[in-house]
Structure 1
Amino acid sequence: MSPLIQSLFLLITLFSLTSSENILFVTTAPLYGAQMVLQPIWTQLSKSHTVTVITPNPTNQKNNTNLKEIDIKFIYEFIEMKYDFSQYVAKYKDEPLRYSTFLTTVLTGINNEVLKHPDVKALIKDDSLSFDLTIVEFITVPTMLAFGHRFKTPIIAITTTDASVLGQDSIGNPNHPALNPDLMLKFHGDLSFMQRVFSTLSLVSRKAVAHLVKRVEDETVSKHFGDNYPSLDELTDRIDLFLMNVNLGFHNLRPTVPAVVHFGGEMSVKPAGKLPEDIKKFLDDGKDGVVYFNLGTVIRARMIKPELLEAIFTSFARLPYRFIIKLDVPDTYPGKPDNIMIKTWLPQQDILRHENVKVFITQCGLQSIEEAIYHNVPIIGLPFFGDQYSNCLQAEEKGIGIIFDVNRLDSRKLIAAIEEVINTPTYEEKTKMISKIALDQPMTGLERATWWINHILRYKGGKHLRAPSLNVPFWKFYLLDVLAFIGFIVLSVFRVLYFLIKKCLRCCIKKSHKTKSQ
């Protein structure tokens, strides 16, 4: 066979093995950092498949004909107007259970508004559309899984952090309250007795609330998708694969079932860009070191107590370093020291890349921590809400930073922490080690995620990955019937022993009395 014919044969074979499928990707969380994790995945998938995305952060790739993005960015404004999200975050930041309940309320409200959007309604009603796979961002409210039933496709769930209690349960992962406390709780690691009690109660309450929420959201599904839909309990059981943004080097891992794929580590990391001239000069001139301060997109200046803001500026003024701050206040903020630059937006990753940046003061959003680790910058954590406490505690446990309670932070403590992190080499060394572990894998997180997505497409689902425990009722899983049987046997044996001992004692007493009477 000639080389030309061999080449043609190879090309024909390759084309026959490659198929372009239609994928629906649904992500509704109005969090810019979280969307940065998901954008590379749907962009990569669109290189070989046709992808339709419902998202509050479209990438607007004008030349990508394989990608259609339904823009729902109105959700950002909706949650601020309807729920005053920033105010409630500040109000419940020290009450994880109340915050979880509030977050669930917000998510149910978001789902209802998204499903009312004209473009989303048109998608649901269009009988000419067909999809081969549905990928749904799974936080705590699984309403959007209904798209999988609407288009009769396999379902992949995806998270931009580790999964919630409900997410772990949905795929059959163990939820041990002593080993894996809920992300929203403010403790981690080796738990005390009372922490284990609280973690157990939290686990039970979260499961109970999740059950009630699914009953409410069944009505939302019926309202927007129509009647005769399976319950959300059934739809949750249909998840074929769960992609979790878990970092091998950073997270404390739990045992996982085959249907769970961890893809964390560098998903939100972008190629190096060019720094604005004023920022570049400010960083270049910081030869003694620069401290980068950014509390994310949700935390606003009005959420920070005035005494805390004063302590921050007082601390920075007393130190010989430069400080570049992302905060929604003007650079002419009253009392701002000369060694501080304030911007309402900053190119975070390009700043972290700069050789003069020594410390990152962060609220400990997972994407911020991953970017700090990737660029080998240790952190000082000021958590405010949600999984930020858990992330900060894990960072402190790994030795890559120091955590503070924002309610008890003062100028003296902050100065001491900055000096310690900058002048103690072990913080940077441990950050570099975690970065190496996270990146030392046979494929990147993006490659792993897309490979497994294509695996589900190739086999029209992932039932072969399903954990046997998902088909077992809870009373069988926890061996309640076996324990009851063993308990019955033990009690029966004790009753028989009690009866025999009692009878023997009576005989002995009678014999004793008889002997005495004789």
Structure 2
Amino acid sequence: MKIILILLTIFCACEFLESANFVALIPSPFYSHQATYRQLWRELARKGHKITLITTDLMEENENITQIDISNVYELSKKNSMVELLQGGIFNLIKKGFLQIDDYFKCILTNPGVKKLMEGDKKFDLFFVELLIPGFPLLSLEFNCPFIGVTTMDAISHVHSAVGNAVHPALYPLADLGFGTELTFKERLISTSVLMVTNLMVPSILFPIIGGIMEKYIGKDLSQHYDINKNVSLVFTNANPILFPIRPVTPVTINLGGGLHFMEPKKLPKPSSTQELAYI
């Protein structure tokens, strides 16, 4: 009887400790975007899960984290300076920006590690992907698994709209506009205009363009899935409540509070001599 109980205990423990295979993609060439969710990858790895991380900034080595380096995106961003595009005005930004979208997606999707991952037969249980840049969530169809969208701050309006969250230009203006919580009439007008232009351009222009580019590299007809954000399982936002107004959201959206990247402070080394103490 004791042997049976021991075997049952081992069997149950093995079942509860079964690990999962995750793939994560943070395509933004900004260190802050990469560092924000490193604590999440570390914690998942600590619990025994296997993670394939596609990143522009490699983190420390971890036996449960396989990293794919896409840091060459930085060279592309230097070549196509956003500052120079903005100096040419909004129309120059739109014209040249669309021309450079293909280069950006080509740089990531033709990366040898990413290409091997898409062409391989490895099965993934879940796909984490940054929602800032439309198109990359379509890779969940290639990996044939559900996906969780992550953002390094509050989600943009079309993401909130896709999952049924409150979207109102006077109450929840785009953070990049730099408006406070109490908008003037002029600011409400600007915020409303930006939202209207965004709602017009993103689904009718940006989604088809990026969808067509993704089709070229994935080799599938994705026209029925351009607005893939509606299929997202969860949305992890990172909006500090001090800086962002309270927004009614559906249970799909989980705000991590803006401090996910914080780590425990390291203690300062103790001085070994009186002379070192004087310098401190």
The bucket for the TM-score relative to the shorter chain is 0.7 to 0.9
**Aligned to 2:230, which of 216, 232, 237?**
237
Letter in 2 for 1:29: S
Indicate the SS of the match to 2:123: coil
Correspondence 1:321-360 to 2 at 5 A? none
Letter in 2 for 1:143: G
> Equivalents in 1 of 2:43, 2:264: separation in Å?
15
> Equivalents in 2 of 1:118, 1:146: separation in Å?
19
- Is 1:78–2:46 an aligned residue pair? no
Letter in 2 for 1:112: K
> Equivalents in 2 of 1:172, 1:16: separation in Å?
36
Shift of 1:109: 4.2
Q: Which has the larger radius of gyration?
A: 1
> Equivalents in 2 of 1:273, 1:266: separation in Å?
17
> Equivalents in 2 of 1:137, 1:272: separation in Å?
27
Counterpart for residue 121 of structure 1: 115
Counterpart for residue 57 of structure 2: 57
CA contact (8 A) 1:80 1:86 kept: no
**Aligned to 2:65, which of 58, 64, 67?**
67
Residues 30 and 275 of structure 1: is their aligned pair in 2 closer, same or farther, counting only changes over 3 Å?
farther
> Equivalents in 1 of 2:261, 2:235: separation in Å?
19
Shift of 1:33: 1.5
Counterpart for residue 28 of structure 2: 29
Residues 203 and 239 of structure 1: is their aligned pair in 2 closer, same or farther, counting only changes over 3 Å?
same
Shift of 1:261: 0.6
CA contact (8 A) 1:214 1:232 kept: no
**Aligned to 2:126, which of 108, 130, 133?**
133
> Equivalents in 2 of 1:230, 1:22: separation in Å?
28
- Is 1:186–2:178 an aligned residue pair? yes
Indicate the SS of the match to 1:184: helix
- Is 1:228–2:221 an aligned residue pair? yes
> Equivalents in 2 of 1:124, 1:74: separation in Å?
19
Indicate the SS of the match to 1:213: helix
Residues 193 and 253 of structure 1: is their aligned pair in 2 closer, same or farther, counting only changes over 3 Å?
same
Letter in 2 for 1:78: L
Shift of 1:220: 0.8
Correspondence 1:194-213 to 2 at 5 A? 194-211=186-203, 212-213=205-206
Shift of 1:112: 2.8
CA contact (8 A) 1:100 1:184 kept: no
> Equivalents in 2 of 1:145, 1:285: separation in Å?
53
**Aligned to 1:264, which of 257, 272, 278?**
257
Letter in 1 for 2:56: P
> Equivalents in 2 of 1:240, 1:43: separation in Å?
21
CA contact (8 A) 2:36 2:261 kept: yes
Letter in 2 for 1:26: L
Letter in 2 for 1:53: L
Correspondence 1:240-389 to 2 at 5 A? 240-273=233-266
Structure 2 unmatched ranges of 5 or more: none
Residues 98 and 32 of structure 1: is their aligned pair in 2 closer, same or farther, counting only changes over 3 Å?
farther
- Between 1 and 2, higher relative CO (CA 8 Å, sep ≥ 6) is seen in 2
- Is 1:165–2:157 an aligned residue pair? yes
Question: How large is the RMSD of aligned CA atoms in angstroms?
Answer: 3.1
Indicate the SS of the match to 1:191: coil
CA contact (8 A) 1:25 1:52 kept: yes
TM-score w.r.t. structure 1 length?
Answer: 0.48
Identity, % of aligned positions:
25
Number of residue equivalences: 271
- Is 1:43–2:20 an aligned residue pair? no
Shift of 1:172: 1.5
Shift of 1:271: 3.1
Shift of 1:85: 3.3
1:176-224 alpha-carbon deviations (Å, 9 max, x no partner): 0110011221312111122111111110101112121111011111110
Residues 11 and 247 of structure 1: is their aligned pair in 2 closer, same or farther, counting only changes over 3 Å?
farther
> Equivalents in 2 of 1:181, 1:107: separation in Å?
26
> Equivalents in 2 of 1:158, 1:214: separation in Å?
19
Counterpart for residue 503 of structure 1: none
Shift of 1:43: 2.1
CA contact (8 A) 2:129 2:150 kept: yes
Counterpart for residue 151 of structure 1: 143
Residues 164 and 70 of structure 1: is their aligned pair in 2 closer, same or farther, counting only changes over 3 Å?
same
1:467-494 alpha-carbon deviations (Å, 9 max, x no partner): xxxxxxxxxxxxxxxxxxxxxxxxxxxx
TM-score w.r.t. structure 2 length?
Answer: 0.85
> Equivalents in 2 of 1:234, 1:172: separation in Å?
14
